[in-house]
A = this chain, B = another copy of it.
């Protein structure tokens, strides 16, 4: 049995297994994280090969698993590991979706000597007459936030900034719908490959907060001018030296995040969440940037949380009766 230095017993090995990385958490029956590790072995480097996944799991948690061969630790994963080209596909569950809906649609994959990993599905949201939207991993963060703050179950708007930011509607302890914004990916593409990136100094200068806020304000006040027009201002402001080169990346970040906030806040209102709490979940520095941006729009952040995936994995395992009982 795996026991932490404080004498607590592990009840779950939880895996947050996304495209770009793998994080493993040993969690006790009460939801406390006893130990955590991370590796770069994300789904995007696995090339869809089962043995590559099994090897990555062995590398990150082999010693934890060998510590108790008689009474194997339950393993539960969320994220791209369950995608079509992941380890095993856990097909999307449609919104609105509860904890129980996710648990009921999980799949299992065998590895090592008689061991099993359970993989949670992602969510699909199909608004009337519009294209579908999808998430994998963020649904688990949403249930983690609910576990930490049960008061959010009635209604909340949750923003999860990142490569593909998600804006989600929580209602009656279910995920009722969500909208993706490609903000982080667009920033990376434009920074690395576009004509705009060429004017930006390398390596990245210190953050220019006033340039960031100028970009957010420009997005807020864009009127009929779209993102495709405003982005070109990064170049023209640089060429005409109306903005120093050191501020161009932050101005562009402000434009992109500002357009996300503008669309997301309108989405929140359209979903009747204007008076519900507004949450930010994710990497603290990025969430702080979003909170600064929301200030420009008079948006009030009720709560900022770091990655709630481990708590979500524990909560789903607990509800489904998958935790290892202590003795």
Residues of chain B within 8 A of A181, CB atoms compared: 226, 228-229, 232
| Assembled-state Cα–Cα distance A262/B226 (Å) | 8
Considering the complex, give the chain B residue whose CB is closest to the CB of A233: B131
Given known A132-B240, A242-B131, contact A228–B226 (CB-CB < 8 A): no
Residues of chain B within 8 A of A324, CB atoms compared: none
Majority secondary structure, A binding face: helix
Does A210 reach chain B (CB closer than 8 Å)? Answer: no
Does A3 reach chain B (CB closer than 8 Å)? Answer: no
How many copies of the chain does the oligomer comprise? Answer: 2
Say which one of A30-38, A95-103, A185-193 lies at the interface with B: A185-193
Which residues in chain A, 153-170, are within 8 Å of chain B measured between CB atoms? 164
Which residues in chain A, 171-216, are within 8 Å of chain B measured between CB atoms? 179-183, 185-186, 189-190, 192-195
Does A266 reach chain B (CB closer than 8 Å)? Answer: yes
Does A1 reach chain B (CB closer than 8 Å)? Answer: no
When the two chains form their complex, are residues A226 and B263 in contact, meaning their CB atoms are under 8 A apart?
yes
Does A260 reach chain B (CB closer than 8 Å)? Answer: yes
Considering the complex, give the chain B residue whose CB is closest to the CB of A135: B236
Does A227 reach chain B (CB closer than 8 Å)? Answer: yes
Given known A224-B263, A233-B133, contact A185–B195 (CB-CB < 8 A): yes
Does A225 reach chain B (CB closer than 8 Å)? Answer: yes
Does A76 reach chain B (CB closer than 8 Å)? Answer: no
